Structures are given as C-alpha cells and as structure tokens.
Amino acid sequence: MKPTAHLLLALVGLFALAASAQAQDLGAPLQKTVTTPTETAPNLPGDAKTVAWSNSDVAEAVSMCRKQLADVTLDFERLPPLKEGNCGTPVPILIRSIGSDPVLAIDPPATMTCKMAVALDTWLKEQVQPTATELFGTQVVKLRNAASYKCRNRYGGANTKISQHALANALDISAFVLASGERVTVLDDWPHVAPPMPTPKPNADAETRDAEMPEAAIAATKIMAVPALPPAPPPMAEPPGDQPLGEQPRGQPKSAFVKKMHLEACKMFGTVLGPEANDAHKDHFHLDMKPRRAANFCE
C-alpha cells in the first residue's frame, strides 16, 4: 500500500474517535462551577499578637502619671500593665472616687489612663459641680459609669477601627446622682425637640401643597376652611398636683444641666458623643482623650 493511503486511513481513524468522544460529551450533564463569595475575617484588636510593655515603657508612663495626678484628689488603685493584642495601656488606674469636697463616687469604679483622669477631674471641678449648685442648689456625689476599659472595636464591630475604650482612654457616663438623692440621666433628661412641620410654598396649588405637607397638616388646613363655629368654652383647670416625673416638660433644670455638661465636655475631651450623635449614644455621654490635630470632635 502506498504511503499516501496509510496517511488517509490514519486521518479517518482520528476523525472517528473524535466523533465518538463528542457524542459521549453531549450525553453528559454540564458541570457548573459555583464560586462562593469570601467573607471578610473579623479584625478584632484582642486577636492580634500580644507584645508586653517593655520596662522602659512602663517606667516612663509611671513617671508621667505621677506628674499628671500631682494636683488631683483620687481614691484609686494602680493596676498591672494592660496588654491584650492591640489593647491596653502601660499604667492603668482603677478610680473609685474623685474629688474631696464633695467626694464623688464612680459607680462602678472605672479603669482609665492618668491623662483621662485629669481631664475628668477638670470637667467635674470647673463645670459639673458649679452648674449643679446653680441649677439644683446641691452637688453631684456620684457618676454612673456605663463603660470604661474594654478590648473592642468601635461599636463592638468586627472590622471597625479600634475603640478608645480599648486603650483605657474613654469613659461613658449615663447618670449624675445629686447629694439630695435625685438622679439626672442622659436618657430621660436630654431635651428632644420634634422636627418642625414643612412650610408650603406661597404659590403652590392645593395638590402640590398637600403632597408636601403631612396628613395631619392637610386635615388641619381643610378644617380651617369650614365656616367658623362659636368657640368652645375653655376646659376646666385641674387642681394642682404632683406631676409624674416622666411627664415633666423639657427645658427644666435637668435638661439644661445635661445640655450644658455635654457642651462644656467638648472643651475638655478629644471626643464627646451624646444622644444627637446616633442611637448607640441615646442613653450616655461618651468622653475620650483621643488626640486631635485640629478641633475636638463633638456630637
């Protein structure tokens, strides 16, 4: 047989094998590759590798702390150096009370840095106590500590930035207790102002006006268009009595007190967050000493 014939037979055999394989593939189900999106792993500050503070770090912090607390009256305990991953501080102190006339308890005791303690003392002496005396005729004898040191990210998130609480550089305050026993709380006494009703445009037609106004305002507008009826007699005044605490009108001394304490804290601390910041702070003031390049952050 000639070489050309051998080549033709070989090519025919190859085509036959290819056709058979294609027929088998057509009968098999197609396999789809499904890719699962990868989730971002939590980045928690306590999960980082813990490197203990050096002796020189601790010695330098102790020396600075002594200078900072020289003029501050505290009932406190110096704790061992704190280090949990990226959290901690070389010289944490546990404060039970601050001041002497009066002694102001922190309940429960709060763990913080010496720098934070100095700022807290200044705020209490220069703003909190004078304002309490002016508005209530007495002084604050206790702060309710809602949170101090805790190794976590901001808002307890998995991938948010590290919180100042994780550096013992923050304190959350939810209530002030007066010497009279009366309590002033951020949750109950912060003045909440209802948003104003939108004002319709002067030349807007009825349809446009109604689209821009709430239903209650529309109803009021339509009622006003009805011919006026004789005015109803004024309701009988109820005899004076004790007004329930939860129904006290805003703008009273307690509301004035918490508003001013928030405002004045903005001058003392690097960060101040309150009820107008977000829902997470509706019941407390967050105070911390985060360094700021320009102005303090206050909401």
Region of poorest pLDDT, from 165-179, 181-195, 277-291 = 181-195
pTM of the shown model: 0.69
**Mean pLDDT score, 64-90:** 97
Q: What is the pLDDT of residues 2-30, one digit of tens each?
A: 555 554 455 545 555 555 545 444 444 54
Q: What pLDDT is attached to residue 4? A: 53
- Residue 244 is predicted with a pLDDT of 38
Q: What is the mean pLDDT of residues 198-224?
A: 41
Mean pLDDT over 106-129 rounds to: 98
| Residue-averaged pLDDT of the chain | 79
Q: How far apart are the first and last CA of the chain?
A: 97
Q: How confident is the model at residue 220 (pLDDT cuts 50, 70, 90)?
A: very low
The closest alpha carbon to 173, from 185, 188, 189, belongs to: 185
- Is there a contact between 173 and 143 (Cβ–Cβ < 8 Å)? yes
Helices (H), the chain: 3-27, 55-68, 114-123, 129-136, 186-189, 206-212, 215-224, 253-265
pLDDT at res. 42: 84
Region for residue 33 given its phi and psi (left: phi exceeds 0; alpha: psi -120 to 50; beta: otherwise): beta
